[in-house]
Amino acid sequence: MSDKEAGVQLKVEGNKAFANHDWPTAIDFYTKAIEKYNQDPSFFCNRAQANIKLEAYGYAIADATEAIKLDKNYIKAYYRRAIANTAILNSKEALRDFKSVVQKEPHNQDAKLKLSECQKIVRRIEFLHAIEVADAPSPFEGLDIDAVAVDSGYDGYKLGDSMTQEFIDDMIERFKNGKKIHKKYVYQILSAVNKIVYDEPTMVEMKVPQDHKLTVCGDTHGQYFDLLEIFRLNGSPSDSHYYLFNGDFVDRGSWSTEIALLLYAYKWLRPDKFFLNRGNHETDDMNRVYGFEGECKAKYNDKVFKLFSETFSALPLATLIGSKYLTLHGGLFSDDKVTLDDIRKLNRHTQKQPGHAGLMMEMLWTDPQPMPGRGPSKRGVGLQFGPDVTKRFCEANGLEAVIRSHEVRMEGYEVEHDGRCITVFSAPKYCDSTENQGAYINIGPEYKLDFHRFDAVPHPPIKPMAYAQSSLMSMM
């Protein structure tokens, strides 16, 4: 058997894994195919699509580019590179590739539609930049919540001046049944939580008292019914059962407002026993593309999105658990000199959005890699850090490990870097297309990590990305 034939057989195995939504195994087979024979553009193009499914958009761009080098007329590779660039908001680069597709296939109506949608995205980004105002007033200024009347026909539990468990219980059921809460109550929740989280430090420091436990959850991404499954299996938040949600509450899943409002309600009810870290999807640019802005407008109004945006920018960026575990959404830093004190001193209120560089961006975006040192990001944003980087950081700061989220793990969690880097992801069957489990971590007063995995549960027939601004995003 020739190397090319062996490569084709490996590609076939990769296609089988892809069909079963096992993206990591598919990538392994495509990589072996490329190692056998690196002149077939389809090997690279197929791996690009699997990388898109794993949100490794930087790798997908590199693979699609390699496929195009091998075959300059490979339409599918241009498509996939465009989709990957769209995902990381490189819309102008995506636009060039969609134009190439239309030039090469002028009668391709689907390509023309994708080109038109990409042009709209570019125009909208340019418009938003043009009207951007430095030091714009807070959307909470002038918000007269008392003047908002709750109509007599509202059939939900009434909210007074403080959050109650009764209101939360009623809200959970309303959301399960496809109902909303009144916008007055939305405003109340957002206003109260904004004050609470704004006053918290950039790195919250907490301990687990005797006879208590803390549950750490990763990304939930608008998968409301899977969030309720965590509470069913593991117990609801209470005075003795703390919870920490490590970012990416919203986007992609189509119940993002429900998750955000429920988590915020718990934060208001127990501000010192319920913890929220910001994720890279608690940011304006991601919310505009991945569905949260559209969902807020569809279910409530544009004001609600702007208020959420303000609260997201006020969220802490990290939580230090018992001086042992630094918990943050993305990962570690481009500079070994960064310490916990640098996080403590970071004034997150002077920079509401993370930008393309700096501590905030790295805390929200970076990922671990198995190789030592640091490398370019597989996402095309941020960087990757190796086990030696994690070891030095933990030793310099007296930590046992870093707990982070930000990436799908097929088993729901993964322990890497000799036990010093732990990823937890809490959105099982992510986007209804990845056959992964979800996970959460229980931590008691002894600070031992107790991992739990769980499976997705059924949900109403609303697809992920239902509120995304463009059908381009549904291809990811």
For 307-366, write each residue's pLDDT tens digit.
Answer: 999 999 999 999 999 999 999 999 999 999 999 999 999 999 988 899 889 999 999 999
SS3 per-residue string spanning the chain:
CCHHHHHHHHHHHHHHHHHCCCHHHHHHHHHHHHHHCCCCHHHHHHHHHHHHHCCCHHHHHHHHHHHHHHCCCCHHHHHHHHHHHHHCCCHHHHHHHHHHHHHHCCCCHHHHHHHHHHHHHHHHHHHHHHHCCCCCCCCCCCCCHHHCCCCCCCCCCCCCCCCCHHHHHHHHHHHHCCCCCCHHHHHHHHHHHHHHHHCCCCEEEECCCCCCEEEEECCCCCCHHHHHHHHHHHCCCCCCEEEEEECCCCCCCCCHHHHHHHHHHHHHHCCCCEEEECCCCCCHHHHHHHCHHHHHHHHCCHHHHHHHHHHHHHCCCEEEECCCEEEECCCCCCCCCCCHHHHHHCCHHHCCCCCCCCHHHHHHHCEECCCCCEEECCCCCCEEECHHHHHHHHHHHCCCEEEECCCCCCCCEEEEHHHCEEEECCCCCHHHCCCCCEEEEEECCCCCEEEEEECCCCCCCCCCCCCCCCHHHHHC
pTM of the prediction?
A: 0.94
pLDDT digits 0-9 by tens, 146-160 = 999 999 899 999 999
In the chain, pLDDT over 90 holds for what percent of residues?
A: 87
pLDDT digits 0-9 by tens, 24-72 = 999 999 999 999 999 999 999 999 999 999 999 999 999 999 999 999 9
| The predicted structure's pLDDT at residue 118 | 86
Taking residues 236-258, report their average pLDDT. 98
pLDDT digits 0-9 by tens, 359-403 = 999 999 999 999 999 999 999 888 999 999 999 999 999 999 999
Residue ranges of domains in the chain: 3-131, 145-475
Catalytic residue among 221, 241, 281, 417: 281
CB-based contacts of 448-454 (< 8 A; 24+ apart in sequence)? 449/401, 449/422, 451/412, 451/413, 451/424, 452/233, 452/234, 453/411, 453/412, 453/413, 454/226, 454/229, 454/230, 454/233, 454/412, 454/428
CATH 1.20.1600.10 fits 3-131, yes or no: no
Question: 342 and 357 in contact (C-beta within 8 Å)?
Answer: no
Could you give the CA distance from residue 145 to residue 182 in angstroms, rounded to a whole number? 12
The highest-confidence range among 1-5, 123-127, 441-445, by mean pLDDT, is 441-445
Pick from 15, 83, 29: which is nearest to 55 by CA?
83
Q: Which CATH number is associated with domain 145-475?
A: 3.60.21.10
Active site residue 212: no
Taking residues 71-85, report their average pLDDT. 94
